[in-house]
Amino acid sequence: MARARFAPSPTGPIHIGNIRTALFNYLFVKSGGNYNTMILRIEDTDLQRSSADYEGLIYEELSWLGIEWDEGPNRGGDYKPYRQSERLDIYNKYYNRLIEEGKAYYCFCTPEELERDKKQTACQASSPRYSGRCRALTDAQAQEYLKEGRPATIRFKIDPGRTVVFDDVVKGRIEIDSDTLGGDMVIRKSDGMPTYNFSAVIDDHLMEITHVIRGEDHLSNTPKQILLYDAFKWEIPAFAHAPLILGPDRTKLSKRHGNTYIGQYRQEGYLAEAMLNYLALLSWAPEGERELLNKEEIIEQFKLEKVTRANPVFDIDKLNWINAHYIKEAETARITELAVPYLIKKGLISRQEAEEKREWLELMTAIVQDSLVRVSDITDRVSIFFNDQFTPENEEALQVLKGEGTAGLLEKLKSAIEKAKQVDLEFCSGIFKALQKETGIKGKQLYMPIRVAVTGQCHGPDLVKTFLLLGRERLINRIEHVLNNYV
């Protein structure tokens, strides 16, 4: 029975790297069947930077991707509260225990003193560290200073000359010299809040976490956390540090490389299942050749031990390829629903039209669905279906309209449409053959002028479907518009 947790800090929109951590936790939990538990813990001890809005975004993004959790702030569970800012009393108990056992102490050093220490030790030792000055204070002195109201932190003693060793599920054996850990570590800040390393250990222990799965950027925290586990004589969970995601230039994925927040992808019209599929492939690969897998298939195959050590590169082309695939596969009604906000924003339709013309919108979406990489791309693809008074897109289109025989051809097309009993599938599929017979024009010479006359463009979607979508009146409007202005 494994228990894993995703422990984000609500200090900003969720980064791609963090959401991949959430996903790996989730996949690990689910791959163990129904016995495992996924915990969502909100690490909001940075009061200045944390916000309820960002916390809300965490729920929103996870839910969007279909990453479910069993215990968490809005879900309850036997280990509540799941928000660290509500656990301060719990932390107090454990600072006190360490102080009583002589493993932690109050520190009254001022920022200036600490800065000076850092500089001095940086010259002597290989890494800068706290001098340990306040270790020497007696209990009585410390109490005296506290009474005076001096700002105080609490530090945990880290003795030099120790080697911390652990076996990371992903990285293998790691050995770290305690001399490199910066000296005695602050576990409670002067504002009374715990530091991340402290609260994470207390909570992981009390919440009976068996597997700590997180990003490689936390690898340097792990030895400090292990020393805390040792001090409390607590069992140490398994650690798995997933490698950092890089940009194409092999530096840490950042804004320079494009979108880094999961919400940005959601807003641009990436589908949740595409995103989930792609994120799973960052540092993990399924058996066999097939990379397009749904959530259940990924869960079935996922093994934490199979997470690779190499840093994955975020490859937008691959994500786009995966997204285009899922858009193609999706129900047109769903893509239409997702497309509506983009169409409204672009001013192509009103909110009311979006309701009233849903059937027409679906027909339109179906025409372009296979060519979409992101749902937001739809506005460019379908703009031709909205304005009957268009200008031909370029010189090439104009030249097509000016071509010999175009006027006659379009006149014939117009009158066929006018005379048709119905502009339905039968008519639209037959009209080109009929025109060919009547005029002797065929192939490109036939299709191109018609395409430009009804869409303004030389290339575009299927003409039969376009005819059906536009319908009699609008087809005639367009042909007349072109005849009057461009032919």
Binding mask 332-371 for ligand GLU (x = CB under 6 A): ----------------------------------------
Decide: is 218 part of the binding site for ligand GLU (CB under 6 A): yes
Q: How far is the CB of 43 from ligand GLU (least distance, A)?
A: 4
Nearest by Cα to 423 from 487, 471, 372: 471
Q: How far is the CB of 14 from ligand GLU (least distance, A)?
A: 9
Burial class (CB in 10 A: 0-12, 13-18, 19+), 111: exposed
Decide: is 7 part of the binding site for ligand GLU (CB under 6 A): yes
Q: Which ranges in 268-330 belong to alpha helices (H)?
A: 272-280, 295-301, 316-329
Binding footprint of ligand GLU, residue count (CB under 6 A)? 7
Active-site hit among 255, 419, 421, 437: 255
Binding mask 185-214 for ligand GLU (x = CB under 6 A): ---------------x-------------x
- For ligand GLU, the binding residues in 229-258 under the rule CB under 6 A are none
CB of 191 or CB of 426, closer to ligand GLU: 191
The DSSP H or E segment spanning 203 is: helix 196-206
Q: How far is the CB of 9 from ligand GLU (least distance, A)?
A: 4
State yes or no: is 255 an active-site residue: yes
- For ligand GLU, the binding residues in 34-53 under the rule CB under 6 A are 43
Q: How far is the CB of 329 from ligand GLU (least distance, A)?
A: 34
- For ligand GLU, the binding residues in 364-423 under the rule CB under 6 A are none
Decide: is 222 part of the binding site for ligand GLU (CB under 6 A): no
Q: How far is the CB of 240 from ligand GLU (least distance, A)?
A: 11
What are the residues whose beta carbons fall under 8 Å from the beta carbon of 405, sequence distance 6 or more?
439, 441, 445, 449
3-state secondary structure string, 51-74?
CHHHHHHHHHHHHHHCCCCCEECC
What are the residues whose beta carbons fall under 8 Å from the beta carbon of 191, sequence distance 6 or more?
47
- How far apart are the C-alpha atoms of 80 and 72, rounded to whole Å? 8
- Taking 3-state DSSP, the helix, strand and coil percentages for the chain, each rounded to the nearest 5, stand at 55, 10, 35
Q: Is 24 helix (H, G, I), strand (E, B) or coil?
A: helix
> Residues with catalytic annotation?
255
Residues of this chain that bind ligand GLU (CB under 6 A) = 7-9, 43, 200, 214, 218
